[in-house]
Amino acid sequence: GAMGVGATWLDELAFDAEGQNPHHPSRGPKNPAAASLIPGGSSCGSAVAVAAGLCDLALGVDTCGSVRVPAACCGVYGMKPTFG
């Protein structure tokens, strides 16, 4: 079975393409594949956790690429299942 290991970063209102929140002291997670680049999208915490090796897989919210864009930015795979 699976075991939850923690919570990850999600942008305010799940509405951002960069994975950054100016209202939070840390400003958002750092891209483990390239620290000078953005981690991408609103569910970037999930992609960062997988790319950093903290977990094997993670869940995220994908409305307009919010899982797939961060996965691409961090060098991991992101999947959005089809409807129906």
Helix/strand/coil (H/E/C) assignment for every residue in the chain: CCCCCCCCCCCHHHCCCCCCCCCCCCCCCCCCCCCCCCCCCCCHHHHHHHHCCCCCCCCCCCCCCCCHHHHHHHCCCCCCCCCC
pLDDT of residue 3: 79
Q: Give pTM, 2 decimals.
A: 0.82
- Report whether pLDDT(51) > 90: yes
pLDDT of residue 52: 94
pLDDT digit string, tens, across residues 19-47: 777 777 777 788 998 888 988 888 888 89
